């Protein structure tokens, strides 16, 4: 292994830059050359590839987004698109590739590996829904952004004795809702992994107001029902003064937390180590604070599991 490539793909996540930096610095430390592929798999197909030096990744560890840009690329889902990508990699003399992204990006890395080009997947997504790791890069930052907003909303909810519905990101995965709801003391948390019962939500609201609660906070993952729709249904079912706040894309941006920067540095460096040891086709992760790696194909066959004990705990604590 003499030359490696690195790209970021799919939805961006805070901490991706710290991962890119780790890949570049770790590779150069071991006397490898590193090439940045700009614009995810789109840039791979079109050959938007530039050599990166130590200084190319200076002053980015604390920045959100990704200096390599990201994209969604339909063509890369085809064999022809993947072959074009492999040709570009070969033309630049690149022997291995680090892919930082979510499960869609992993599928691309898996396809390249199956066609003989070694790739290592690094989990970068705010959703925390990648199998083979307990945490993904960006999750902690998104969570803290959500908590910051929930705390502010809680202040105004108390002043006006209102019920707030707060919609957070998570089309298929409920971790942002679950963790931010638990950390924010929400009365109710709705996640895509569990069916919800409107009667139960209303009963909890009524019970709270009977014991003199000044406000209620309901955190809902976008994949369950839109916050606006849920707000309408609640208004119709109760006498509460219901307001809705949709947090949206602010959850994707911002300065990565220390935890995300450390995670990104460890995972990015581990990916390079695997390539140096000729171990392509792996997905790196963290378990019990230890670095792990799995066969990327096997990792993709698993499903990230939501921690139902947290949901149970949140219900117990918000009676
Ligand atoms: P994420 O990586 O955040 O899950 P996407 O699901 O949009 O984001 O995937 C990012 C990109 O990965 C896609 O635009 C596509 O180029 C590539 N990709 C997704 N699925 C596959 C697949 N089955 N085979 C090859 N490439 C894929």
Q: How confident is the model over 114-140, as pLDDT tens digits?
A: 999 999 999 999 999 999 999 999 999
> What is the CA(245)–ligand 1 centre distance, in A?
30
CA 157 to ligand 1 centroid distance, Å: 40
Residue 239: strand, helix, or coil? coil
CA dihedral 195, 200, 201, 206 (to 10 degrees): 180
Evaluate whether 188 touches 177 at the Cβ level (below 8 Å).
no
CB 132 within 8 A of CB 292: yes
What pLDDT score does 114 carry?
Answer: 93
C-alpha to C-alpha distance for 142 and 251, rounded to whole angstroms: 5
What is the 123 CA–ligand 1 centroid distance (Å)?
Answer: 13
Distance of CA 211 from the midpoint of ligand 1 (Å): 49
Q: For residue 71, which phi and psi values (nearest 5 degrees)?
A: -160, 165
Q: How confident is the model at residue 207 (pLDDT cuts 50, 70, 90)?
A: confident
Give nearest CA residue, ligand 1 atom 9: 104
- Place 172 in a pLDDT band, splitting at 50, 70 and 90: very high
Q: Whose CA is nearest to atom 27 of ligand 1?
A: 108
How far is it, in rounded angstroms, from Cα 68 to Cα 24? Answer: 12
Q: Cα 48 to chain center, whole Å?
A: 25
DSSP 8-state symbol, 124: B
Tell me what the pLDDT averaged over the chain comes to.
95
Structural Rg of the chain based on CA atoms: 22
pLDDT tens-place string over residues 22-69: 999 999 999 999 999 999 999 999 999 999 999 999 999 999 999 999
Q: Looking at the CA of residue 41, tell me the nearest atom of ligand 1.
A: 16
Q: Which phi and psi angles does 296 have, rounded to 5°?
A: -65, -30
**95/89 Cα distance (integer angstroms):** 8
**Which ligand 1 atom sits nearest the alpha carbon of residue 11?**
3
First vs last Cα of the chain: how many Å apart?
A: 57
Query: CA-to-CA distance for 142 and 100, rounded, in angstroms?
Result: 17
Active-site residue among 12, 95, 103, 127?
127
The answer to whether the beta carbons of residues 282 and 296 sit under 8 Å apart is: yes
Rounded CA-CA distance 155/248 in Å is: 20
Q: What is the pTM of this model?
A: 0.96
**127 tagged catalytic:** yes
Ligand 1 cavity residues, CB under 6 Å: 9-11, 41, 72-73, 76-77, 101-105, 107-108, 111, 125
C-alpha 105 to ligand 1 mean position (Å)? 4
Query: What residue's CA is closest to ligand 1, atom 23?
Result: 107
- Which residue among 107, 114, 126 has the greatest number of ligand 1 atoms within 8 angstroms of its CB, and so is best to mutate? 107
């Amino acid at each position: 292994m003499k030359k490696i490539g690195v790209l970021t793909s799919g939805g961006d996540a805070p901490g991706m830059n710290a991962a890119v930096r780790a890949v570049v610095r770790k590779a150069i430390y071991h006397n490898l050359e590193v090439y940045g592929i700009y614009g995810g798999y789109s840039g791979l197909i079109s050959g938007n590839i530039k050599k990166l030096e130590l200084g190319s990744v200076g002053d980015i560890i604390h920045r959100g987004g990704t200096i390599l840009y990201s994209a969604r690329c339909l063509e890369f889902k085809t064999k022809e698109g993947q072959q074009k990508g492999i040709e570009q990699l070969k033309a630049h003399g690149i022997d291995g590739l680090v892919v930082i992204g979510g499960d869609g990006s992993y599928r691309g890395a898996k396809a390249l590996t199956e066609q003989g080009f070694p790739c290592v997947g690094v989990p970068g997504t705010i959703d925390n829904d990648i199998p083979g790791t307990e945490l993904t890069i960006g999750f902690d930052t998104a969570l803290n952004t959500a908590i910051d907003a929930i705390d502010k909303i809680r202040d105004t909810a108390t002043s006006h004795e209102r019920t707030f519905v707060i919609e957070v990101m998570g089309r298929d995965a409920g971790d942002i809702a679950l963790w931010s709801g638990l950390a924010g003391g929400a009365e109710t948390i709705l996640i895509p992994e569990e069916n919800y019962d409107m009667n139960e939500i209303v009963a909890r609201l009524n019970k709270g107001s009977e014991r003199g609660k000044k406000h209620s906070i309901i955190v809902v993952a976008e994949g369950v029902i839109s916050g606006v729709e849920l707000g309408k249904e609640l208004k119709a079912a109760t006498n509460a003064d219901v307001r809705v706040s949709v947090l949206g894309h602010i959850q994707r941006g911002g300065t990565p937390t220390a935890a995300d920067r450390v995670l990104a540095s460890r995972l990015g460096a581990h990916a390079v180590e695997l390539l140096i040891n000729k171990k392509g086709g792996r997905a790196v992760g963290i378990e019990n604070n230890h670095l792990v790696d799995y066969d990327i194909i096997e990792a993709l066959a698993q499903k990230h599991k939501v921690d139902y004990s947290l949901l149970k705990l949140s219900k117990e604590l918000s009676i």
